[in-house]
Amino acid sequence: MAQAREVALSVLLRMEQDDSYSNLLLDAELEKAALSRRDAALATALVYGVVARRITLDYLLETASGRPVQKMQPVLRAILRLGAYQLCYLDKIPARAAVNEAVQLAKKRHLGHASGFVNGVLRGLDRKRGALPFPSEEADVLRAWEVRYSCPRALIALWRQAYGPERTREILEQLNAVPPLAVRVNTLRTTPDALRAELAEAGIEAAPDASVPDALLLSHSADLRTLPAFTEGCFFVQDIASQMACAALDPQPGETVYDLCAAPGGKSFTLALHMRGQGMVRAFDLHAHRVRLIEEGAGWLGLSGIVQASVRDATGGEPLPPADRVLCDVPCSGLGVIRRKPEIRYKNPKIFDGLPDLQYHILCDGAANLKPGGVLVYSTCALNPAENEAVVRRFLDGHAGFEPVPFPSAPAGNATLFPQADGTDGFFIAKLLRRS
């Protein structure tokens, strides 16, 4: 499995150099390397694991070696993190193999004498790791949680202020967990029961979700792309929280619905299925290449007749004929999907400061293109009240013709979904009615 570790190392170094997303770099490296399924799974686990556990790994390495990790060469730092992750989190890999493979990586990268340093640090970590002290919560709770959960203290502080210490601990405990895998059944081509039977034949257990219709929760993340039901467009991957946002909008057959920030198209497709393929879903995005993704997805699922994709600026593009319903699933910080994109946690929270204003203007654009009596849903995958409740309050303060509307599990007209409590991505949904 040495090649898997080489792929993981290349991805980690590219991430540091290019500030790119791990999933995009990993997909590109895996395509080039043509690894076996087993090796590809290991490379994937290593990349996501090292990114997610970086703060904890650096603490352990510094405690074991006495040297600041940030002052090491990037390639040496990445090799040590890979070795430490295997020692501390991958029980099926023998410690000796983890250390030896790290040493071989150092030699292949021409680090010379540093291979001995790698050997010494990792062997020392293996001997001491059960006895290494973690920071005390009594002394500094932010530092203790930062190290234990591998989450920057600035983000922990944001959540503690917004949700309190107990809810914050719950968020942190889910931060590095494997997220659930949910799919939406294309009910124009199959039924939930028929799809469950086909998945069972492939060794994948699937169970219906109580929150939304026509959703299935899968037992494990097999390569779904190889299944005939997938290639035939009988289902697509979509988290339950996203499906709940579409269910809150509750579009009806024959209506006109706008999805203002639609790419890559999953919510537009779910809205079309709610409408049983009757009516029109206009799916907008700012970029032409992302509009093409929507068009390709609609064709694959047999929804081209109802989903119409086009380029439009949702911060105030040309006026549209008023719609019956509008979905504003706005660009956001992504603080609710860190389990899927672990590097988000390391972004400086200050770069999110401009998002609420952008989100507000998109919400206003949605309102301007809605019929009297129409319904508007605002949603984000952010766990951040500044992007959620505060944006909706600002909108309602300036738009007297709108009011919150209750929907399942949200009697006040809005709901924040938390990974541990709700079993979904972190998400916010608000439903508003334009009075006639």
List, as residue ranges, the binding site for S-adenosyl-L-methionine.
Answer: 261-267, 285, 313, 329
Which has the closest alpha carbon to 5: 114, 84, 65, 68? Answer: 84
What is the rounded CA–CA span in Å between residue 396 and residue 384? 19
Longest dimension (CA), the chain: 76
Distance between the two ends of the chain, CA-based, in angstroms?
64
Tell me, what DSSP letter sits at residue 226?
A: G
Q: Where are the beta strands (DSSP E) in 260-321?
A: 280-285, 307-311
What is the rounded CA–CA span in Å between residue 242 and residue 21? 21
C-alpha dihedral, 247 to 253 to 255 to 258, nearest 10°: 40
How far lies 137's CA from each of 142, 167, 172, in Å? 8, 16, 14
Q: Are 293 and 302 in contact (CB under 8 A)?
A: no
Token pair for residue 136?
């005390």
Residues with a catalytic annotation lie at 381
Q: Which residues contact 227 (CB under 8 A, 6 or more apart)?
A: 198, 199, 202
What is the rounded CA–CA span in Å between residue 228 and residue 234? 9
Phi and psi of 223, rounded to 5°? -75, 90
- Render 127-148 in DSSP notation, one character per residue: HHTTTPPPPPTTT-HHHHHHHH
Which has the closest alpha carbon to 150: 342, 427, 337, 419? Answer: 342
Q: How many helices (H) and strands (E) does the chain have?
A: 17, 12
Phi and psi of 184, rounded to 5°? -105, 130
- As a residue count, the chain comes to 436
What is the rounded CA–CA span in Å between residue 323 and residue 340? 33
Bridge partners of residue 307, in order along the sequence: 281
Token pair for residue 325?
């319903």
What is the rounded CA–CA span in Å between residue 399 and residue 372? 13
Please state the residue numbers annotated as binding site. Answer: 261-267, 285, 313, 329
What is the rounded CA–CA span in Å between residue 246 and residue 362? 17
